[in-house]
Structure 1
Amino acid sequence: MRSRSSDPFGEVLAAATERICAAVVATSTSNPVVIIDGRSGAGKTSLTERLIRAWPLRTPVQLVALDSVYPGWDGLEQGAETVRQSVLIPHARGELGIWRRWDWERGEEAEAHAVDPALGLVVEGCGALTATPARLGDVTVWVDGPSDSRRRRALARDGDGFRPYWDMWAEQEEAHIAQHRPQELADVVVRTP
């Protein structure tokens, strides 16, 4: 009789990391782009952290997390568009990309960050995977899980800062999914418990 895992969430993420790493290697490029999208609390950030640690290429990888770009709690679509225009399109053209961190406390843009087109790139966050990024990405990923599990993880991570905005954010996620159908654009689909 098989024993149950003490960390089913971790096991799912470990298996997904292996699949994504294999897909990165299969691109046969030194600067692949991985786009990770999914609902809040599904495990995108945890998966991304694992992927960055396990990055299978000799060249370093850069990370742009949409949480650092969204211009506030109603900015899902705008943050994703900013990254598409300022990071993904320049990277695909072999040009330097620039994005500005959003200062959540001050409610304004902060310092700028450069993205080197010669290096690999991971873009992570809800809203990241739409038709254009799917064409610009070498490996696309959708992460989802049951609503109650996602909410529990997200509120445990972000606590009272996120709690009043959960419904507002979920509505933006739903609109993104209905309009762009990111799960259908993904090469790798990850379902967390």
Structure 2
Amino acid sequence: MAARPRIPSSDSFEWQQVWKAPVSLKVVTTAWKVLKQRMATCDNLQRRQVLISSSEARCTLCKLNEESIEHLFFDCQKAVEIWNEILIWIGKLAVNHHTAKDHFLAFTNLGRKEDISFLTCVWICTIWCLWKLRNGCKFNQELWSKDKMIAEIKSRLWSWRMAFDFKTPATVFRRWCAAANLSG
């Protein structure tokens, strides 16, 4: 893993939480770009005067709205389905927020203080998997599958946990997939 630069003390809570997450630099960078509104979504590319046809500017997942960070990650019906499944998996209820920062802060505050690190990883992983799915659908003609997405998110979180969390006892993967265990 590449060395991470020092976090300036003036950076916001969400950035510091994302930066501390035990995941690869490219995954952290993707989450940071979402929080800072810097992802290469169609609306951002158009603002940078990259020519995109109106049909290409539509959300790759639902094909209904213009692709923006807010739509792709939080408002698209496909993304909402994923977030709802993740909430069921971790045993929480939440209101869907429509901006990255509000969504992040609400999601990571669903549990106790000791759950924030895990919830941050879940949020980052879901963002990463949605971005990968978007790119797979847009450039490789992959097909949307909610079940495949949920399985990938759980699998990635499991591997990150096993790689970086040495304090928690190992859990059987099937039990992990059935219900996330916050704080341990």
Q: TM-score of the superposition, structure 2-length normalised?
A: 0.23
Q: Of Structure 1 and Structure 2, which has the larger fraction of its residues in strand? A: 1
Of structures 1 and 2, the one with the larger relative CO (CA 8 A, separation 6+) is 1
Q: Of Structure 1 and Structure 2, which has the larger fraction of its residues in helix? A: 2
Q: TM-score of the superposition, structure 1-length normalised?
A: 0.23
